[in-house]
């Protein structure tokens, strides 16, 4: 983790020295010297980081190094911002408004002294590390890491032996055996078992390997190899070759030996001789022999616990992918490895056990074999309470069951029951955290802080991924735009890739998904979250107000940089938080439920001069105002006031010139006045205005050249010069746009998502908005439009369209079916008030999802050879619709049909034996509610 912190600071300092060079000119030399010292520290910090558990000295030193890196960034960034403000860039009055900055009086001399002090502390740390034997002088001079005393990680080794009858995997076993035994042409070569650590991937692979059906089918032999985290191709290849040696051939050779020799020469001797012989083969010859045996025979190779794509790349030469009936079964925590091995392969995502199977496993291990019925009854009662802490994770249940099996008395069970969380998460010789830690340790350095940041959020919390990624941006975890394939990616794109990698590594669970596969929410398994929180607190990365007692607080090493305010009680516990103890905070997340009764005092934020992320969702204070000292938080990158009980948008937020994300979607029922201050926020990328707002002066947005998201904007309230273009704008949500010309400049951009609402008095404006959105991919229209534009006036890229209360008088299908790339169509709440609707032959060529809701006047719907790609159809509350279209019987791609809130006569026709059953009997999933 220390490596992640220091490398992140080095990157951000590089950007700062480049972007703010004019304001750092007086301290440029010293800043570069400090950056160089931090770069040198990275070379050996990895070794020290890995050895923190060896002694308190190393742990304290690594914590001090992380603090030094943060201090270096804070000193230089604060100086740059202060100089920029004094010279009139951006915020003209920031120093007058922020007396706290003036009092501090940062000068060139003071900054130079602070940098020198940090360099001295780094030098002292370096000397201490040398004296402790972690690094040598030659290593530092060479600019590389030292192997002196470098700890060797324990190599995991698994075997194919099945010692017991596992519980809960029989269905998974049957599915995998069926996949592996299929022989049809074009079938997959590789089947993969993927999932987080502790789910039982290796156990399931053992069951497959030892299944009689598998042994009989793969008569050429089965090989088991554990790859683990240190893959070496030669031992892997040799192990496979030894396992696939024809058993009959070895016995034949033994039988040909003279009697006196064959009696003493067993099969093991033959295999040992073969091992020595194989070791003498060249790589090329070994590869050829392995490919030959797999092509000539039906073989199964199990690659257990493979971690990286690079590991597959170095061993894959021995596996022929065509012209063979042999198969590969691999297990991995990373689904990317499985996709790399065979893009057409089957990935079996292993799930947690069901509650019933979880209990069956625990009962089998710890209770069922006991004889005393009274004791068993008592143990069952406690066991059912304790198993809740296992999160249905087989490893955790096995650990708990193994522990309880050794407890013969009620007192022993009572002790485990009382300390069950401690036993599962803190006991060193129990394996739950150890197994989960393998996944964390394997993360690249840039993903470790992203993962630990998830620990902020409460248990079972559905984390909105947009907000999460923008918090990562605010912290600097996503430091700059990266380029891929010649195009420019936004930091949101990079953050989305980071999140997907955590999901693919099975450390984060995807929640809700968007229409086009984007992850909208995510969460963590309970035990993974427990590990995350434990690791974050151990690394001094994160702290909580509801768990950190004063005693614990005093025991912490280093400065508190991140704080989460979490409580399940209704008490006003915020009053007890000593905010003045957290002057070094970078993130403050207020994560209380919407109807909590906790209130902030007005002056809570004056100590948070370094804070970058301030998440104040459902924030309250007695004055219904944002504290004035919020305007002094000049480092702030992310500010969310979503759902907060605040009755005005204060003008002092204009001081926050570093803001990248600003969410002002406060109390929905208030029409708030918004001041003209956004012109000072030149770094702003995502702006969410209040649901309803008014202005005294029009909002000047011409300085917002990085703006990507603009939500709830009323075009008549903004002022944009005719020369200005929103070149980066991607998401636009327009409200109350009576005059279409007001929105012209926003629309003539690269906007990909357009939502328009509250245009009841301006149906013509709505048509203009559509026709002037040439690149839009998602379009949501709310309120009456009466008539759609012509098909050619829509964006040719349009893939998702929602019509809500549009009250169209003409059938929209003849227009919409001509949209070449439309994949999702949702018609809600009086979208069309006609009686007849027709989808013509060849129409909707790519449409996959169709939702029809509240078409209360619709009586007939015909489908005439349209929608050849439709997968999902929902019909909801179309009370006058008499029957489902006859043409649906020819839509063979339809997989899901959902009928809700329709007349009983409509439902009866669709049931088996009904008049319309033949039209839908080919649909695998039919739900009628």
Q: Which of 502, 532, 562 is the last residue of a domain?
A: 532
Of 580, 579, 552, nearest in space to 565 by CA: 579
Same domain, 373 and 284: no
Residue 55's contacts (CB-CB under 8 Å, 6 or more residues apart) are none
Of 734, 738, 686, nearest in space to 714 by CA: 734
Residue 800's contacts (CB-CB under 8 Å, 6 or more residues apart) are 515, 516, 777, 778, 779, 822, 823, 824, 825, 826
623-659 b/e with 16+ CB inside 10 Å = b? eeebbebbbbbbbbbbbbbbbbbbeebbebbbbbbbb
Using one digit for the tens of pLDDT, what is the confidence trace for 314-363?
999 999 988 889 999 999 999 999 999 999 899 999 999 999 999 999 99
Same domain, 240 and 384: no
**870 lies in some domain:** no
802-826 b/e with 16+ CB inside 10 Å = b? bbbbbbbeebbbebbbbbeebbbbb
pLDDT given at position 145: 43
Residues in a beta bridge with 173: none
Same domain, 425 and 467: no
Structural domain for 487, as ranges = 443-532
**822 lies in some domain:** no
| Low-confidence spans in the chain with pLDDT less than 50 | 89-105, 136-152, 248, 252-254, 256-257, 547-555
**758 lies in some domain:** no
Q: What are phi and psi of 349, to 5 degrees?
A: -80, 110
State the Cα–Cα distance between residues 729 and 727, nearest whole angstrom: 6
Same domain, 667 and 583: yes
**732 lies in some domain:** no
Same domain, 588 and 661: yes
Of 349, 182, 316, 168, nearest in space to 237 by CA: 316
pLDDT given at position 843: 95
State the Cα–Cα distance between residues 625 and 645, nearest whole angstrom: 8
* Three-class secondary structure of residue 607 per DSSP: coil
pLDDT given at position 206: 95
**729 lies in some domain:** no
Of 855, 764, 850, nearest in space to 807 by CA: 855
The CATH number for 182's domain is 3.40.50.300
Q: Which of 349, 376, 394 is the last residue of a domain?
A: 349
Same domain, 324 and 466: no
The CATH number for 465's domain is 1.10.10.10
**419 lies in some domain:** yes
Same domain, 389 and 458: no
Same domain, 365 and 343: no
Same domain, 490 and 586: no
Same domain, 454 and 381: no
Q: Where are the alpha helices (DSSP H) in 406-485?
A: 410-418, 420-425, 432-441, 448-453, 465-475
**314 lies in some domain:** yes
Same domain, 135 and 72: yes
Using one digit for the tens of pLDDT, what is the confidence trace for 568-579?
555 555 666 777
**373 lies in some domain:** yes
The CATH number for 624's domain is 3.80.10.10
Q: How many helices (H) and strands (E) does the chain have?
A: 33, 33
pLDDT given at position 830: 93
Structural domains of the chain, count? 5
* Three-class secondary structure of residue 860 per DSSP: strand
277-295 b/e with 16+ CB inside 10 Å = b? ebeebeeeebbebbbebbe
Q: Which of 432, 454, 472 is the last residue of a domain?
A: 432
* Three-class secondary structure of residue 600 per DSSP: strand
Token pair for 527: 């035990």
pLDDT given at position 547: 44
Same domain, 523 and 563: no
Q: What are phi and psi of 662, to 5 degrees?
A: -135, 115
């Amino acid at each position: 983790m220390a490596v992640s912190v220091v490398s992140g600071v080095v990157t951000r300092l590089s950007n700062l020295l480049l972007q703010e060079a004019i304001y750092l000119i007086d301290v440029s030399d010293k800043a570069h010297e400090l950056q160089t010292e931090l770069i040198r520290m990275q070379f050996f910090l990895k070794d020290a980081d890995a050895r923190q558990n060896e002694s308190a000295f190393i742990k304290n030193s690594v914590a001090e190094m992380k603090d030094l890196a943060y201090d270096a960034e804070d000193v230089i960034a604060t100086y740059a911002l202060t100089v920029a403000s004094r010279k009139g860039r951006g915020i003209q009055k920031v120093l007058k408004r922020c007396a706290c900055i003036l009092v501090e009086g940062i000068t060139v001399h003071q900054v130079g002294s602070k940098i020198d002090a940090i360099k001295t502390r780094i030098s002292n740390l370096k000397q201490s590390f040398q004296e402790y034997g972690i690094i040598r002088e030659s290593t530092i001079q060479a600019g590389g890491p030292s192997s002196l005393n470098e700890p060797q990680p324990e190599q995991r080794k698994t075997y194919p032996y099945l010692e017991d009858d596992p519980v809960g995997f029989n269905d998974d076993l049957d599915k995998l055996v069926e996949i592996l035994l299929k022989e049809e042409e074009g079938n997959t070569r590789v089947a993969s078992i993927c999932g987080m650590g502790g789910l039982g991937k290796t156990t399931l692979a053992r069951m497959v390997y030892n299944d009689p059906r598998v042994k009989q089918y793969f008569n050429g032999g089965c090989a088991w190899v554990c790859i683990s985290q240190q893959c070496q191709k030669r031992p892997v290849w040799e192990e496979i070759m030894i396992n696939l040696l024809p058993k009959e051939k070895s016995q034949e050779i033994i039988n040909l030996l003279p009697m006196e020799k064959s009696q003493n020469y067993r099969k093991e001797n033959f295999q040992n001789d073969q091992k020595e012989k194989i070791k003498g083969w060249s790589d090329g010859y070994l590869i050829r022999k392995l490919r030959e045996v797999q092509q000539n025979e039906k073989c199964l190779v199990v690659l257990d616990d493979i971690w990286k794509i690079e590991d597959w790349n170095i061993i894959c030469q021995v596996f022929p992918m065509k012209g063979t009936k042999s198969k590969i079964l691999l297990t991995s925590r990373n689904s990317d490895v499985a996709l790399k091995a065979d893009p057409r392969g089957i990935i079996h995502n292993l799930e947690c056990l069901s509650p019933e199977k979880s209990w069956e496993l625990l009962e089998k291990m710890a209770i069922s074999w006991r004889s005393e019925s009274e004791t068993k009854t008592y143990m069952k009662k406690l066991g059912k309470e304790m198993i809740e802490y296992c999160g249905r994770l087989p490893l955790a249940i096995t650990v708990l069951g193994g522990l309880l099996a050794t407890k013969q008395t009620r007192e022993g069970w009572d002790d485990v029951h009382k300390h069950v969380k401690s036993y599962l998460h803190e006991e060193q010789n129990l394996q739950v955290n150890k197994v989960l830690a393998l996944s964390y340790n394997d993360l690249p350095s840039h993903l470790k802080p992203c993962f630990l940041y998830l620990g902020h959020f409460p248990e079972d919390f559905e984390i909105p991924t947009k907000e999460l990624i923008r918090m990562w941006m605010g912290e600097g975890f996503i430091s700059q735009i990266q380029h891929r394939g010649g195009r420019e990616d936004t930091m949101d794109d990079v953050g989305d890739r980071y999140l997907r990698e955590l999901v693919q590594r099975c450390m984060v669970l995807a929640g809700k998904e968007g229409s086009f596969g984007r992850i909208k929410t995510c969460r963590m398994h309970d035990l993974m979250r427990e590990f995350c929180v434990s690791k974050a607190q151990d690394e001094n990365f994160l702290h909580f107000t509801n768990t950190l007692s004063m005693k614990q607080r005093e025991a912490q090493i280093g400065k508190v940089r991140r704080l989460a305010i979490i409580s399940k009680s209704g008490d006003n516990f915020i009053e007890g938080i000593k905010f003045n103890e957290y002057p070094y905070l970078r993130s403050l997340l207020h994560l209380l439920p919407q109807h909590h009764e906790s209130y902030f005092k007005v002056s809570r934020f004056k100590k948070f001069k370094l804070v970058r992320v301030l998440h104040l969702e459902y924030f309250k204070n007695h004055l219904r105002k944002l504290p004035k000292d919020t305007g002094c938080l000049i480092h702030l990158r992310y500010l969310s006031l979503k759902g907060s009980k605040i009755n005005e948008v204060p003008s002092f937020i204009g001081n926050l010139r570093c803001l990248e994300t600003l969410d002002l979607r406060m109390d929905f029922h208030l029409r708030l006045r918004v001041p003209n201050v956004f012109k000072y926020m030149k770094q702003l990328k995502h702006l969410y205005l209040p649901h309803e707002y008014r202005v005294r002066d029009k909002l000047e947005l011409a300085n917002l050249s990085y703006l990507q998201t603009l939500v709830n904007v009323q075009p008549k309230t903004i002022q944009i010069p005719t020369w200005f273009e929103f070149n980066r704008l991607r998401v636009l949500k327009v409200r109350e746009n009576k005059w279409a010309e007001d929105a012209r400049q926003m629309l003539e951009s690269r906007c990909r998502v357009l939502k328009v609402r509250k245009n009841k008095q301006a149906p013509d404006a709505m048509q203009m908005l559509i026709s002037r959105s040439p690149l839009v991919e998602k379009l949501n229209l709310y309120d009456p439009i009466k008539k759609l534009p012509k098909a050619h006036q829509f964006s040719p890229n349009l893939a998702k369209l929602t019509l809500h209360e549009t009250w169209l008088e003409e059938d929209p299908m003849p227009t919409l079916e001509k949209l070449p790339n439309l994949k999702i169509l949702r018609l809600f709440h009086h979208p069309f008030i006609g009686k007849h609707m027709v989808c013509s032959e060849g129409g909707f060529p790519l449409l996959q999802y169709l939702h029809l809701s509240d078409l209360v006047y619709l009586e007939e719907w015909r489908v005439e050879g349209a929608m050849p790609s439709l997968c999902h159809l929902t019909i909801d509350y179309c009370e006058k619709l008499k029957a489902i279209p006859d043409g649906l019987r020819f839509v063979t791609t339809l997989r899901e049909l959902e009928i809700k809130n329709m007349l009983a006569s409509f439902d009866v026709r669709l049931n088996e034996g009904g008049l319309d059953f033949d039209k839908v009997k080919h649909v695998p999933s039919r739900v009628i509610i």
